[in-house]
Structure 1
Amino acid sequence: MHSMARNLDVALLRTFVAVADHASMTAAGNVLHLTQSAVSQQIARLEDLSGALFIRERKTLRLTPNGERFLGKARRLIVLNDELWADMAQEPINGLVRLGAPYDLVGTWLPPILKTFSQAHPQVEIKLVCLASPELLTAVDNGALDLALVEEPVGKSHGKSHGECLAVDRLVWVGAKGGTAHLKTPLPVSMVAETCAFRPVVLQALGEVELPWRTMFESGSIDATHATIRADLAVTAWLASTVPTDLGILPFGERLPELPSFAINLYQTKGQIPRAVSELLQQIRHSVSSPLIADQAIA
């Protein structure tokens, strides 16, 4: 025979947590807008169910070992209760979010973020725009985008506006596994586009070591660049966390100059943003702080 389900009164748990936090029934009553007598009665009801929770010491209360164990679980149950109420009270989020990202982040960072967000908010329409980082900054400034992930040298700011740094990643040389393109002179370099944020840094690094180079392929397509590198026709520079598994990271050293790290910054349009945009903003922050993406960025 199944035992009868029993339900805890969350109001009793709130009172218990308030008393534990203030070590006083009177102070807890002031916070909860209850009389000291009402607080005392609620604690007595809870102790009838759970056993002694407090030790009375003069004018203060101290948790018993049982109370200390009970406190953490009570806090978690209150949080879950409040989250459920908030979910039930809110109307479904809808609307359009215009999100921009560089080509390399679209295939690596964004899929888990967009999948989680679309499952939680199926009525929100996401318009994804792929551009080079400088073009994304212009689009955010002009109000053409609500949010944009932008790759910038660490410490660099865009005019008077500052992006929110989500991660810092290494800019690395990338070539075909076992390839020889990096040994050729002049060095064949393939960039996704002339406006690529990495291009000025890469060319400056090559100039500082006086290594001759030539542009092998520029099309604005990350897939075309990938194919060029995989065929060992050229090398490129990408963030370490975005390098496909079928390509290899080339070491800095005798021939290839060291490249600086880049920040992945989050920019948002000026002024008040709609709720759908705010929710995606929070999802991006949460996802990027997760171990999966954080590990990618520092790998």
Structure 2
Amino acid sequence: MFQTIDHELLRTFVAIADHGGFTRAAQAVNRTQSAVSMQIKRLEEDVIQRPLFERNGRLMHLTSEGNTLLGYARRILELHGEALNVLRQPDMVGRVRIGVPDDYVMRFLPGILKSFSQAWPMIDIEVHCEPSSQLLSRQDGSLDLSIVTREVGHEIGEILRQDATVWVVADSHAPYQQDPLPLALFDEPCFCRRHACNALARAGRQYRVAYSSPSLATLQAVVGAGLAVSAWMKSLVVPGMRILGEADGFPPLPDSSIVLLRTPQAQSPVIDCLASHIIEGFRA
């Protein structure tokens, strides 16, 4: 008979690979550090019969065998969780319609959808990518859930997170030194655009909206090319860009809130489950 691998050993092994050591992995799997050490010793000596980690002081690196096992371990654990969910809750099937601005699609949605699909593989998700202003007008039952940006103090629904609104420019360009200042902003109506223009006007800074788009990806391309300055949430700033502050002559901007809206008709365990994953994903 073939020898089997206890999935708890695999779970601990993956936790060590993900967290870079025994101490944090022990916290992740809710075990003591000595118990984690014993599990890995058992996995290496009794099951795999190969070293899985190379230890260099406090640093740990996967051996070639460890890298090979890691891929299999992830797949085994995913299938294990999927099988349990499908068998324990066979009614968790259906479709959820979610609306989300493209601001959050690349930053937050991939991790949320991945964890959700691993847990509930029989649920289909229909994603509608539209600006917050349009999603706010679609609370008529055509969507089950919507993720939108709101001004602090004017939130409706459940607050997922609050974030600073910041001025953004490409690292290697200086369009902020131009007069009038070239801006790349979201289309109207957008309170970030309104706050940015009002703040510059109060500061006596001349500006022009040189580029306008409903798409964050478009604004990022314009800013990345060094053509303009923009304003968006701090959590959406990508590598290659830097934040401009008061030392650069830019006034502070009000914070923004990301909220989750649910239409009154959206009542089902399937929708509840996706809503929980969204809340956890944004607050992580």
| In the alignment, structure 1 residue 264 sits paired with structure 2 residue 258 | yes
Question: Structure 1: how far apart are the matches of 2:210 and 2:88?
Answer: 57
Aligned to 2:13: none
Contact 2:144–2:266 (Cα < 8 Å) also in 1:
no
1:258 Cα deviation from its structure 2 partner? 0.7
Scaled by the length of structure 2, what TM-score is found?
0.66
Question: Structure 2: how far apart are the matches of 1:259 and 1:122?
Answer: 41
1:245 Cα deviation from its structure 2 partner? 1.1
Q: Deviations over 1:233-276 (max 9, x none)?
A: 10111111111112111123452111011111111111451222
Scaled by the length of structure 1, what TM-score is found?
0.63
Aligned to 2:168: 174
**Aligned CA distance change for structure 1 residues 233 and 90 (closer, same or farther; 3 Å):** same
Question: Structure 2: how far apart are the matches of 1:240 and 1:137?
Answer: 23
1:112 Cα deviation from its structure 2 partner? 0.5
Structure 2 counterpart of 1:131, one-letter code: E
| In the alignment, structure 1 residue 218 sits paired with structure 2 residue 212 | yes
Q: Percent identity?
A: 34
Question: Structure 1: how far apart are the matches of 2:200 and 2:179?
Answer: 12
Map residues 129-278 of structure 1 onto 2, 5 A cutoff. Answer: 129-139=128-138, 141-157=139-155, 162-253=156-247, 255-278=249-272
Give the gaps of 5 or more residues in structure 2: 1-82
**Aligned CA distance change for structure 1 residues 207 and 86 (closer, same or farther; 3 Å):** same
Give the gaps of 5 or more residues in structure 1: 1-83, 291-299
Structure having the higher Rg: 1
Question: Structure 1: how far apart are the matches of 2:99 and 2:85?
Answer: 30
**Aligned CA distance change for structure 1 residues 110 and 86 (closer, same or farther; 3 Å):** closer
Question: Structure 2: how far apart are the matches of 1:254 and 1:222?
Answer: 23
After superposition, the CA RMSD in angstroms is 2.0
Question: Structure 1: how far apart are the matches of 2:246 and 2:235?
Answer: 17
> Alignment partner of 2:222: what SS?
helix
> Alignment partner of 2:137: what SS?
helix
Aligned to 2:123: 124
Question: Structure 2: how far apart are the matches of 1:117 and 1:152?
Answer: 25
Question: Structure 2: how far apart are the matches of 1:167 and 1:222?
Answer: 19
Question: Structure 1: how far apart are the matches of 2:116 and 2:212?
Answer: 33
The aligned length equals: 202
> Alignment partner of 1:143: what SS?
coil
**Aligned CA distance change for structure 1 residues 185 and 123 (closer, same or farther; 3 Å):** same
Aligned to 1:51: none
Runs of 4+, deviation exceeding 4 Å? 84-88
| In the alignment, structure 1 residue 103 sits paired with structure 2 residue 102 | yes
> Alignment partner of 2:164: what SS?
strand
